[in-house]
Homo-oligomer: A and B are copies of this chain.
Amino acid sequence: MSAAVDDELWSAIGDPIRRTMIDLLLADGPGTATSLSRRLPVTRQAVSKHLAVLDRVGLIHAEPAGRERHYQVDEAQLARAVAQLSAVGSTWDARLRRIKRIAETIERHRTTNQGG
């Protein structure tokens, strides 16, 4: 269910800083390492490393513009990541519901048979 590529995607969006970075890029449009670092609690170099990670898994791509490097979200890849998220979420959700249903069934049997 979770292959190697998917794991890469997950660990990419698993980091809170990287998640916030994607949030910022989505909300404010393309940005640079410096512009992002101004809105994050880490240094520009740390942001730069995170950008490299996100770039490596294809969640963002860079566009050189003079002395700046504009990064922007790859919509298709992010859509894939979102699909992963909701897949895991719904799997767990379904299992939780199943467990709850079984528990209720057992409870019902017990009260029916023992009466208290």
Instruction: Specify which chain B residues have a CB less than 8 angstroms from the CB of A68 in the assembled complex.
Output: none
A2 pairs with B14, CB closer than 8 A:
no
**Total chain A interface residues with beta-carbon distance under 8 A:** 30
| Count of chain copies | 2
Whether, in the assembled complex, A52 has its beta carbon less than 8 Å from a beta carbon of chain B, the answer is no
| CB-based nearest B residue for A4 | B16
Which of A42-50, A87-95, A105-113 interfaces with chain B? A87-95
Residue of A2, A14, A92 with most partner-chain B CB within 10 A: A92
**Chain B residues positioned under 8 Å from A1 (CB to CB):** 23
Interface residues of A in 72-112 (CB under 8 A from B): 75, 78-79, 81-82, 85-86, 88-89, 91-93, 95-96, 99-100
